[in-house]
Structure 1
Amino acid sequence: MVKVLSFALLSLATAISAVSAQLDRPGQFSRLGACPELGCVFPPDRTNFLAGAKFDVRVEVHGEDKVQPDTKYSLSIRKLSKTDKKNTNKDNKSSKPVDFSKFTKVQADAPESWHFSYFKDAAAYWKNQDGDKNASTTVNVASSAWRNIQLREPGTYEVLLKYQDKTTDEKKVSKLIWNVNAAPKKRKAKNVILFIGDGMTTAMITAARLISKPHISGMYQKRMNMDQFPVLGHVMTHSVDSLITDSANSASAYNTGHKSTSSALGVYADSSPNPFDDPKQELLAQLMRRRSKKNGGKGGVGIVTTAEVQDATPAAVYSHTRQRNEKATIVDQMIHGKNPVVADVILGGGGQYFHSKKGGKSLNGTDYYEAYSKERGYKTVFDRDELLNYKGKGPLLGVFNSGNLDVWLDRNVYKGNLNKTGADPRGSGLPALNQPNLDDMVIKGLEILDKRYRKEGWFMMAEAASVDKMMHPLDYDRALADLLELDSTIGKTKEWLKRMKLDKDTLVITTADHGHSFDVYGSVDTQYFNSFSDSEELEKKNSIGTYENSGWPSYVDADGDGFPDEWNVRYTLAAGTAGFPTHREDFQVNVNGARVPAVAQGNSHHHYPVHVADPRDAPHGINKPGTMSVRENVGVHSLQDVPLFASGPGSELFAGVQDNTEVFHKIAQVLGLGDQK
């Protein structure tokens, strides 16, 4: 019987007194994110692995300025015994350190060397931004990499990197602890749906509920679909090397069980110049693809998003790169990468990276619509009607916009905003007037996965991307509308699962990859607000009611579809974020499209762009001085934990507070992905 580690104790398993943990170093700038010393190993200290999952290892040894790094370093590994972990100084039963190549039976790639530069502090960074090319520090690197490593035996491993600090001639040892966690081969669920409300927080859910659900005497008469999940948890979202995460490495944590660095997808970010050679981590979808028949057989994979299908969150399901913006290559990785995922369903935007016609940006001018069709058998659809009319069983590629899909509020309410040229995903230069909603894509995707993998099971990631994309420009109405679209889709999905008799076989998870610092602090009488001239800002602010004067907003959902019937109402929410650029605010929906809160100042003496309030945005609003660097022109992500809702078999594992990497391990446990061959 395979022993299953308790995920509630997962973090405690790393607290081994025999080895002192490497504390994270304070400061905003570092030589290399997860590399606090001159010698480092990726994966770094205290990494948790799934037994049998594949991963790469890289060693880097650094020398700053004119100092060259040690090239005679050594890497060894040993599995610790229970006595070692109790620090009894009795290591009779423990294996001795073994050369890493001998232990893993994998030879390192040829040694490499390169150099890069970094900034030691904020003063150096900003001097460089203003033109001082001597403000950076050069780092010389010696490196080795081992590819496709597997540790099959659960337990705790000690990894030792020995090298010489050429600055002081001091011999140094970097000591790391890796924990390899078992997971059962027997599945609790055949299927998993992971809904991600990108950037979604508890405060946003509260606001979305407030504007969409009927209430009497301060009590809601209806709840959101998320509210009805039986299990509630919270997820910590930090990056491996920073407080605040971005969508790439936070989504990667859900798909690999490993922390990473901003902009990185499925890799630990090294310092090499090549954004595609960083040490890789095997993806959940790859594990599904190579699951043995004994464990249930190869499983299906579905990817649905309202963003570009190459964007950070969907790309985290199938891509490996240090730079999320390498979108043209990411399209190629889906079908041509090493051990490619080749998902059964891919639905979203991003048409510009599939072709080289007008506005096209495809890799080497390749027609990837044709490549996906001819090489992998995809049926391709380009609008809502084609999507809904597809009744086949073959793999489906649906691309409905040249960029991100337009948001729900413009697709369904302010439809005139769709009349912009260039949105057609085929490069015709025409608008995209018939884009599907999130529920259209999710239900069609599930139908195909069920046809192809009813027996073996499947995994789907479905993202409401523009919760985040509209929070950035402070367009709260559009962000909340997309959150409501996610909630509506969840309800329709659960109905579909029950109708198809799949509800008892399917784990459904709803969470976010990170948060924004959004909250509501009162309500606004916009009629009173608009009655004053632009110069009467004090009087305009008096329209904001707090505490006993924070009356309920005037949104109404009379038709019961889960969305307000009217968005341009008198009483709205007084809402905002903690991290924002200088801008103007009028607390009213922008009927003409997404907000642009700040623009570059034309006469700045700095070498970098300085942003000021966009005079076209909320022209009759109040001024709000920014809270961040003037280089920022939109709002930013925040520190807060994000909510997680779960229902179905295995959902009990997700209760309580957990790290984002633990979500992967729990999904792997539910799907029986342990100890893959």
Structure 2
Amino acid sequence: MVKVLALTLCTIGAAISAVSAQQGQFKRMSACPDLGCVFPPDRANFLAGAKFDVRVEVHAENGETPNADFSLTIEKLRGVDRDNKRRGSKAIDFSKYTKVKNTGPEGWNFTYYKDAAAYWKGQDGDEKASTPVNVAATAWRQVQLKEAGDYKVVLKYNNGKKTEAIWHVNPVQKRKAKNVILFIGDGMTTAMITAGRLISQRRVHGLYQTHLHMDQFKNMGHIMTHSLDSLITDSANSASAYNTGHKSSSGALGVYPDSSKTPFDDPKVELIAQLLRRRSKKQGGRGGVGIVTTAEVQDATPAAVYAHTRSRDEKATIVNQMIRGKDAVVADVILGGGGKYFHSKSGGKSLNGTDYYDVYQKEHGYKVVFDRDGLKNYKGSDKLLGIFHSGNMDVWLDRHVYKQNLAKSNTHPYGEKQSALNQPDLNEMVIKGLEVLDKRYRKEGWFMMAEAASIDKMMHPLDYDRGLADLLELDSTIGKTKAWLKRMKLDKDTLIVVTADHGHSFDVYGSVDTQFFNSAGDDSDAADLEKRNSIGTYENSGWPSYEDKDGDGFPDKWDVRFTLAAGTAGAPTHHESFQVHVNGTRVPAVIKSNSHHHYPVYVANPNEDKNGMAKSGTLGVTEPVGVHSLQDVPVFASGPGSELFRGVHDNTAVFHNIAAALGLGEEN
């Protein structure tokens, strides 16, 4: 299906000149290079029958009034004529064609920065650096296109100006899989998987004798991660692409970002979970939904399963959306962290002070658990809400090795002034969630998204040991999940997809003799020389000292002599020792106390890795941690429909492939 789609778009591209995306770092509006904007924009791809909103905006800058006399038409394109131009049936008024009335005229204003010079002047207090924009707009809600093919949408505005968009609607596919598990290793790249394999798998003379569970998938590919309007994606819009089949912008979930003031009225696109909830009886009927994460359940990747908002930071409202929002998903299983957004006790941040634990139990009959014992002891079939930390769950390395780091106040998920000392592992959450889904939807099938969130959350502060440990936890979970599916005789009915939402520029370039590194003298020049000489490359990049003698998939010791020389291209100024941080997550940079700027300036943390190598920053001075990178991320797949993931795909294809496998389309 994906290859056919790619050919279709190439054909359209040859026939109709596309509007190029705006170049440069600062833009007036995402995917809107002209003063007339149409969302969804040019080259958007749809699943037949999926619901979506349409927003039209007309802009006027520098105090001018936008012309509110605009029109929107749509026509179904039928083919290519002799002149290689697309033929259409007839352009028809959008409301008449879709039988959906628009919301009526709307208006507002906003400001933006035209370039980096203007932006940084604005950050330093120059109120005249931004450019004001006035907007005339309208929207169409809950539109459906059920006939597969190509559509041409034209906005006419400002006395003859036009903005054109070509939309492609994919055909309905026959259902192949009863169930789908989408594993997301947040921030996970091929280089990280390679490093994880290196420190955990047995090898003899350079030949691996054991392999990661990910290594054993038969179908593999690559995912391109660009967002709607930028090279580098964040977790929100990348996970949104996986759940909707549409591109979005940084921080956005399930919407095309518009310029309105509220983050909750942007044009929405339907989610996998929503489609599964209203799947036709012909395709198997309503299915179950499970969400598992080691982050807050309101965090970007899990929220992409159920939320619609321009801002991923609206976490209190996102909790409310999950259960009281319009067309709410109301997942059968929700497991992870984020307790502070469920209550208003000590440290609580819930919307309007609501006790959402009580809401979930009384309004929807959830069983609520708060620790590992409660999760393990639950044997029922009611919907399950398990919240195990006030924020993000603690990482594997601290839960299993450096347990003293768990003793922090106010981490209990229900506002108790206690530590969350009894948190479950990722595999325990996934297996329990699958047990509940299977009891509730054995006949109809289900979809689960399971995220190893702290691969990313540890790679940001350059804490590579903790990030790799959570990657190995994900791999262990994949193996245990496959074994459970086989025991339950569900393996032949279940599509498993393993991927990442984006990458980091992490890589390994050698090994380090930390004993030699730590013995360097105090003289700065001599010490730097000895530290650099402790790094072995090429023929001197000997094997590290990590071993897994007990065969659990994790190194037996993390504070070893020979470690990995690893780093990242995008990082703040910091010090690097190439050794595990025993006392908790790294803090590589801190705010400079005497900066003359109005914005924070970060410098190397003087209290961390004091004996490490000094590394100059490669990012803007307001960045305290490392950032995401451009690289494609791997995708592994097994089970019915897994062949769709072979090759190189856009991130939106993950949605379309899963939708095809589950038979989620709706045709005339």
Instruction: Pick one of 71, 82, 104 that aligns with 2:98.
Output: 104
Partner of 1:118: 112
Match of 2:256? 268
Aligned to 1:543: 534
1:167 matched residue in structure 2? none
- 2:554 maps to which residue? 563
Kindly report structure 1 stretches of 4+ aligned residues shifted beyond 3 Å. 86-91
Structure 2 counterpart of 1:178, which letter? W
Match of 1:20 among 8, 14, 17: 17
Instruction: Indicate yes or no: 2:284 matched with 1:296.
Output: yes
The separation in 1 between residues aligned to 2:437 and 2:330, in whole angstroms, is 13
**Alpha-carbon distance, 1:292 to partner:** 1.4
Mapped pair 1:625 → 2:622: no
| 1:610 matches 2:601 | yes
* More deviation, 261-270/616-625: 616-625
* 2:3 alignment partner in structure 1: 8
What residue is the counterpart of 2:68 in the other structure? 71
Q: Is the 8 A contact 1:290 1:676 kept in 2?
A: no
Post-superposition shift, 1:87? 4.5
Q: CA deviation at 1:351?
A: 0.1
Tell whether the 8 Å contact from 1:292 to 1:676 is kept in structure 2 after alignment. Answer: no
**2:160 matched residue in structure 1:** 171
Shift of 1:110: 2.1
- Where does residue 482 of structure 2 map in the other structure? 494
How far apart are residue 617 of structure 1 and its match? 1.5
Cross-structure match for 2:155: 161
Question: Which residue among 322, 332, 335 is the counterpart of 1:334?
Answer: 322
* Alignment-mate amino acid for residue 135 of structure 2: V
Matched, 1:312 2:309: no
Check if 1:247 corresponds to 2:247.
Answer: no
Structure 1 residue 171: Cα displacement: 2.5
Distance 1:159 1:487 in 2: 45
Match of 1:279 among 255, 262, 267: 267
Q: Secondary structure of 2:618's partner?
A: coil
Structure 2 match to 1:181:
170
2: CA distance, partners of 1:563 / 1:19 = 54
Contact 1:14 1:177 in 2 (8 A): no
Structure 2 match to 1:594: 585
Q: Give the equivalent residue in structure 2 for 1:3.
A: none
Q: Distance in 2 between matches of 1:375 and 1:33?
A: 39
List per-residue Cα deviations over 1:188-235 (Å, max 9, x = no partner).
110000000000000000000000001101011100000000001000
| Letter of the structure 1 residue corresponding to residue 399 of structure 2 | R
- The superposition leaves residues 618-639 of structure 1 with CA deviations (integer Å, 9 ceiling, x where unpaired) of 1111110100100000000000
Contact kept? 2:77, 2:86, Cα under 8 Å: no
- Deviations for 1:109-129, whole angstroms, at most 9, x for unmatched residues? 021100000000000001111
Q: Does 1:150 align with 2:144?
A: yes
Q: Find the counterpart in structure 2 of residue 666 from structure 1.
A: 657
How far apart, in 2, do the equivalents of 1:75 and 1:227 lie? Answer: 50
Shift of 1:90: 8.5
SS for the counterpart of 1:29 is coil
Distance, in Å, in 1 between the alignment partners of 2:151 and 2:626 is: 42
| 1:172 partner letter | K
Tell me, in whole angstroms, the C-alpha distance in 2 between the residues paired with 1:265 and 1:74: 28
List per-residue Cα deviations over 1:322-362 (Å, max 9, x = no partner): 00000000000011111110000000000000000000000
| In 1, Cα distance between equivalents of 2:361 and 2:245 | 32
Q: Deviations over 1:135-189 (max 9, x none)?
A: 000011000000000000001000000001xxxxx621111100011122x3111
Secondary structure, in 3 states, of the residue corresponding to 2:248? coil
Offset of 1:11 from its aligned partner?
Answer: 2.4
Report the Cα distance in structure 1 between the residues aligned to 2:434 and 2:367, rounded to whole angstroms.
16
Secondary structure of the structure 2 residue equivalent to 1:265: coil
Query: Following TM superposition, by how much is the alpha carbon of 1:89 offset from its aligned partner in structure 2, in angstroms?
Result: 5.8
2:223 & 2:126 partners in 1: Cα distance? 41
For residues 119 and 627 of structure 2, the distance between their equivalents in structure 1, rounded to whole angstroms, comes to 20
SS at match of 2:160: strand
How far does residue 83 in structure 1 lie from its aligned partner after superposition?
3.5
Structure 1 residue 128 corresponds to structure 2 residue 119: no
User: Could you tell which deviates more after superposition, 527-536 or 298-307?
Assistant: 527-536
Q: What amino acid sits opposite 1:547 in the alignment?
A: Y
State how far apart, in whole Å, the 2-side matches of 1:110 and 1:179 are: 26
Q: Which amino acid aligns with 2:383?
A: P
Overall identity of the aligned pairs, in %: 71
Contact 1:225/1:491 (<8 A) preserved: yes
1:347 match: secondary structure? strand
Q: Please say if residues 523 and 572 of structure 1, whose CA atoms lie closer than 8 Å, have aligned partners that are also in contact.
A: yes
- 2:409 is aligned to 421
Match of 1:35 in 2: 32
Question: In the alignment, residue 527 of structure 1 is paired with which amino acid?
Answer: Q
Shift of 1:539: 1.0
Partner SS for 1:80: strand
Which residue of the other structure, out of 368, 374, 384, is the alignment partner of 1:386? Answer: 374
Q: Can you give the 5+ residue segments of structure 1 that lack an aligned partner in the other structure?
A: 1-5, 165-169
Bigger mean CA offset, 527-536 vs 25-34: 527-536
* CA deviation after TM superposition for structure 1 residue 676, in Å: 6.5
Structure 2 residue 59 is the aligned partner of structure 1 residue 62: yes
Alpha-carbon RMSD across the aligned residues, in angstroms, is 1.0
Unaligned runs of 5+ residues in structure 2 are: none
2:120 match: secondary structure: helix
Q: Residue 205 of structure 1: which of 193, 201, 226 is its match?
A: 193
TM-score by length of 2: 0.98
- Pairwise CA distance, 1:88: 4.9
Q: Within 2, Cα distance between the matches of 1:66 and 1:380?
A: 53
- Which of 493, 498, 509 in structure 2 is aligned with 1:521? 509
